[in-house]
Amino acid sequence: MSSSTPSLWRERLTSPLTWHFVAFLVLLAAVITLSVRFGLDWAATSDRSSDELAAKQIQLKTLELQAAPLRGLDKRVDDSRAQMKAFYAKRIPPNYSSIDRRIGELGVSSGVRLSRVQYTQGKPGLDLTEISLDASITGNYPQIMRFVNGLERDQTFFVIRGVTLTGQQGGLVNLRLQLSTWLRVADAAASGLPHTPQPGETTAQPSSVRGKEGE
């Protein structure tokens, strides 16, 4: 029995069927290993693809949000230009004389006395030049309020820059009023008004002061 056992094992080891079985097991193990590795790689690739896809979607959404304010921009620009043109035509005076005349009319209608009105012009802008007015007015409180309200509500575009109390006697009040309006660049250049002085500068009084004494 003992002598036949080694022979039996040798026959089994040398048998083609045995080697075919061993080869099959090795191949099966290799296939399983490769399948597991492929599955892991596929899962990793899929996760990366999902992350990249999500990142691209976020980038696309960000770009869409950034571009949203620009949609219809050309129409808004055209609308803004039309509104500016209408505003200029309605509320920007055509020349210096119309400003001076309107200030005088508001003074008469409110009852105040304009003792001094000084006009200067700032640096030209793209479309408009600022015209500065420095005026001294005298009147009682109701008259002054009517004058100030008239400026604020007038069709000519006036902006009040400052009001300073300079004196009071009886029921009359003296104020220094500083305000601005605008002219188109060419109209301001044709007005001959001196430039608005910067801090530390002085301007020539004879050419810039329009006397209102006695009015």
44 vs 184: CA distance, rounded Å: 69
Instruction: Average the pLDDT over 78-107 and give the result.
Output: 90
Q: Report yes or no: 170 and 74 within 8 Å, Cβ to Cβ.
A: no
Average pLDDT for 182-207: 79
pLDDT for the residue numbered 148: 94
Cα 159 to Cα 39, 48, 125, 181: the distances in Å are: 76, 62, 17, 6
pLDDT tens per residue across span 52-69: 777 777 777 777 777 776
The predicted pLDDT at position 73 comes to: 66
- The Cα 114–Cα 211 span in angstroms is 9
pLDDT in tens, 137-160: 999 999 999 999 999 999 999 999
* pLDDT over threshold 60, residue 206: no
At 207, the pLDDT band (50, 70, 90 cuts) reads very low
